[in-house]
Structure 1
Amino acid sequence: MVLEGLIFPAKAERKPWELFFLGALYASIGMILALWIFRSEASMIMVLLTVVACLPLVYRTFKREEKKDTLINEERTLLREHGKALKFLMYLFFGFIVAYAVWFVFLPESLASSLFKVQATTINQINSKIIGNTINDNVLFQIFFNNLRVLFFAILFAFFYGAGAIFILTWNASVIGVAIGGFAKDKISHLGSYFFSIPLAIGRYMTHGIFEILAYFVGGLAGGIISVAIINHDINSDKFKVIMRDSLDLILLSIILLVIAALVEVFITPIIFS
């Protein structure tokens, strides 16, 4: 109950930057407890414990955003209000990523390999599907449709489990964190400096990753709003129709963000960090 009650949506909207540190705290405590109690399955248990810690915040956020849909009629104003929630959720997610990356870099090699073994396997599987560094349409579409699949599950989990999208997003944060950590380790061996290597690694993945992450949160928010609306409103009511229209707008926005993310990942990121 201590971790779950550290912050509420209203305060998070006022001080979104605090969620970065809260995210890092949640992820770090989850890792420590997973290593201590469930060492052999720590890769997934740490994600689960992190999710448990932030579930109340995410669920309250979905309820708060659904209520805004019933009170605000102007679409631009509504999107701006949703933006407040998305902002602090993004900070929370970045806290997860940085914590996972830093732990991956600084933990002893054997311990890091054990703790993040499932994430490392996932990264290897993703990399094996994209052969070479050739920039072509196949890679572009492959990246886009892979990200679209993640978006689909984020919406699906949010719809069926309310705040369930946070599980998909936290899992992705752990994978991204390991990818960043691996890149940083490689650069440390060349540059010999943590000070330059870790920010460089974060920049390498966040250049396009920020669009992907935002897309997943926008989609998850849409799914969560629909889920709450179905519980609270008659599906034939005018309010429900307004909520559905807003949610569909959010889903469309998330797809557009994924298109941008794929274009940046294929055409811009390799140029900057080649």
Structure 2
Amino acid sequence: MVVEHLLPAGWLERKRQFAFFIGLFYAIIGIIIAKALFPDDPSLVAIAFTSILLLPLLRKLFTIEEKQEKREKRFSLVHLFRDEGDFISVYFLLALGVFATYCVASMILPGFEINALFRDQLELRGANGGAIFTAGLFIDILLNNWWVFLACFVLSWIAGDGAIFLITWNASLWGTIFGVTARSAALASQGNPWWYLAIVLLIIAPHAIIEMLSYILGGIGGGLISADLEREKGERKTPRPHVFYSYVGMIILAGLILLLIGALVETFVLDNVVLYQEIVAQSFMAAS
């Protein structure tokens, strides 16, 4: 797309705050195109279009990161954080832009438009919302997050940057659910929906950020392996494969650690933050 030529990947890593607005813009474009071409069921199509728009930019970023890792002569945590920090920030801000689009859209669009545009996201809210607080909550959350992490890793390993589809889906899912929850709870209590949204975001932000970073690290790990295997087919092999794969292994390990921390934090929030439980209950009262 034209944006990739106007904003090179290297520039975006240095000016990573603009990644948020790119994610925001592409998500809006994806929703508009999906609504125009598939008016009967645009929700998943919008995710596909948004992901496709993001793919060229991510491919450039993966190429840059792979070359950086292969230039390293020995493994160093300092180099790992230096080389990957900007990429992770850009990836996260792209996802945050998608999240913000769906969250705000769920707050301002008419109810019938929300039901039409975000049907698949709302179906998952209905499936999970009524039975969030269970005795085996930690195991349920950990297993669910593990499968998402594994899917991000495998899809990126196979397709290079295939994790963007799952990450975009999760960003849209969270944005829709949190926006609709705040809006519905405010309707039930005759409160300010934006105040409710602020409360919801403050409560869920810690574990949502940790889990999203976990998925991104899984996708980056798989994508770097894929890029290395693809490059070896037509070019010389990695000069120091043990160093390169040490970096990849640490990225994956960091993702798994964040996965565990995210599940612990989410379990604590859902089991102990009474205010959030009340907001969720109010939101389903309005829907019933």
Flag whether TM exceeds 0.5 (same fold). yes
Does the residue aligned with 2:7 lie in a helix, a strand or coil? coil
1:251 is aligned to: 252
**Alpha-carbon distance, 1:177 to partner:** 1.0
Q: Does 1:140 align with 2:141?
A: no
Q: How far apart, in 1, do the equivalents of 2:6 and 2:109 lie?
A: 27
Deviation at 1:201, TM superposition (A): 2.6
The letter of the residue matching 2:91 is L
Instruction: Give the structure with higher Rg (CA).
Output: 2
Counterpart for residue 117 of structure 1 = 119
The aligned counterpart of 2:286 is none
Distance, in Å, in 2 between the alignment partners of 1:132 and 1:176 is: 15
Spell out, residue by residue over 1:159-180, the C-alpha distance to the aligned partner (whole angstroms, 9 max, x if none). Answer: 1111111011001111111111
Distance in 2 of aligned mates of 1:12 and 1:153: 27
Partner Cα distance (1:214, 1:102) in 2: 22
Q: Give the aligned length.
A: 270
* Contact residue 232 and residue 238 of structure 2 kept, 8 A: yes
* Letter matched to residue 15 of structure 1: K
- The offset of 1:127, in angstroms, is 4.0
Match in the other structure for 1:203: 202
- Structure 1 residue 13, shift from structure 2 partner: 1.5
Aligned amino acid, residue 9 of structure 2: P
What is the CA-CA distance between 1:223 and the residue it aligns to? Answer: 0.4
1:203 CA drift (Å): 2.4
Contact persistence 1:226–1:243 (CA under 8 A):
no
Residues 1:224 and 2:216 are matched in the alignment: no
> Does residue 31 in structure 1 map to residue 58 in structure 2?
no
Corresponding residue of 2:156? 158
Is the Cα–Cα contact under 8 Å of residues 144 and 259 in structure 1 kept in the other structure?
A: yes
CA distance in 1, matches of 2:111, 2:117: 10
Q: CA deviation at 1:220?
A: 0.4
How many angstroms apart in 2 are the aligned matches of 1:191 and 1:150?
37
Normalization by structure 2: what TM-score? Answer: 0.87
Note the alpha carbon deviations across 1:175-198, whole angstroms, 9 max, x for none.
Answer: 111111122213432363244222
Residue matched to 1:22: 22
Is the Cα–Cα contact under 8 Å of residues 24 and 98 in structure 2 kept in the other structure?
Answer: yes
Q: In the aligned structure 1, how far is the partner of 2:24 from the partner of 2:202?
A: 18
Match runs of 1:17-96 below 5 Å: 17-72=17-72, 73-76=74-77, 77-96=79-98
Q: Answer yes or no: is 1:184 the counterpart of 2:185.
A: no
Gap change, CA 1:103 and 1:155, over 3 Å in 2: same
Show structure 1 runs of 5+ residues with no match. none
Question: Contact (CA 8 Å) 1:226, 1:247: kept in 2 or not?
Answer: yes
In structure 2, relative to structure 1, the CA distance for the partners of 1:105 and 1:259 (3 Å cut) is same
Give the TM-score taking structure 1 as reference length: 0.91
In structure 1, the partner of 2:170 is 172
Q: Distance in 2 between matches of 1:86 and 1:236?
A: 26
Q: Could you say what the CA RMSD is over the residues aligned between the two structures, in angstroms? A: 2.0
**Alignment match of 1:103 (pick from 105, 113, 117):** 105
1:242 is aligned with what amino acid? V
Any unmatched runs of 5+ in structure 2? 277-288
Distance 2:80 2:177 in 1: 35
Q: Distance in 1 between matches of 2:132 and 2:255?
A: 28
Q: Work out the CA distance in 2 between the residues paired with 1:142 and 1:50.
A: 29
Note if 1:267 corresponds to 2:268.
yes
The amino acid across from 1:54 in the alignment is L
Distance 1:186 1:255, change over 3 A: same
8 Å Cα contact 1:158-1:221 kept in structure 2: yes
Q: Pick which of 28-37 and 182-191 moved more.
A: 182-191
Cα deviation, residue 25, structure 1: 0.8
